[in-house]
Amino acid sequence: MEKQTLLIIGLIGGILAVVGVFLPWMILGRLGGGTRNVSGWDLRTFRTSPYSPYLTLIGGVIAMLGSFALLKGKRFVGFLLPIGGAIAIFGGVMAYFDVRAILFGVWIPEIFPDWGYGFYVCIVGGVLALIGGTLSLKAK
């Protein structure tokens, strides 16, 4: 693949990681109707682990900065794109376990928690950033 294409893939991955933080990570349904989406940004106030949204957000921003820098020709910061992707993946995986702990560890009779999709978007974004960044460093 062409280097610029790989960098754009990495940039898209960073954007997905950042956007995924604000998408629903968990859906809370109530007995009698009504749901509430809990995003990663909202989840930072829960007791399990408030760090996963921050890690994912920081990883996505680092990946985006690395991608922008490489697209501008600043080769010396090329390591930022794959590192940002790896941080976003780590944050997304931590988010999965945070949500899992909430879903299976909390029982409230009137509330039925369910999985969201935001942390999956973060993980996919991190993988794209990691792949795009790693392969772009090898491409000419």
Please report how many Cα atoms fall inside a 13 Å half-sphere around the Cα of residue 4, on the Cβ side: 3
Distance CA(13)–CA(17), nearest Å, equals 6
Q: Where are the domains of the chain?
A: 3-27+43-138
pLDDT tens-place values along the chain, 140 residues long: 788 888 899 999 999 999 999 999 888 887 777 888 888 888 777 666 667 788 899 999 999 999 988 888 887 887 899 999 999 999 888 888 877 777 777 666 666 777 888 888 999 999 999 999 888 877 76
In whole angstroms, what is the distance from residue 48 CA to residue 8 CA? Answer: 35
User: What's the pLDDT at 62?
Assistant: 95
Instruction: State the pLDDT at residue 136.
Output: 84
User: What would the DSSP string read from start to end of 83-138?
Assistant: HHHHHHHHHHHHHHHHHHHHHHH---TTEEEEE-SHHHHHHHHHHHHHHHHHHHHH
Rounded to two decimals, what is the model's pTM?
0.85
Q: What is the pLDDT of residue 108?
A: 67
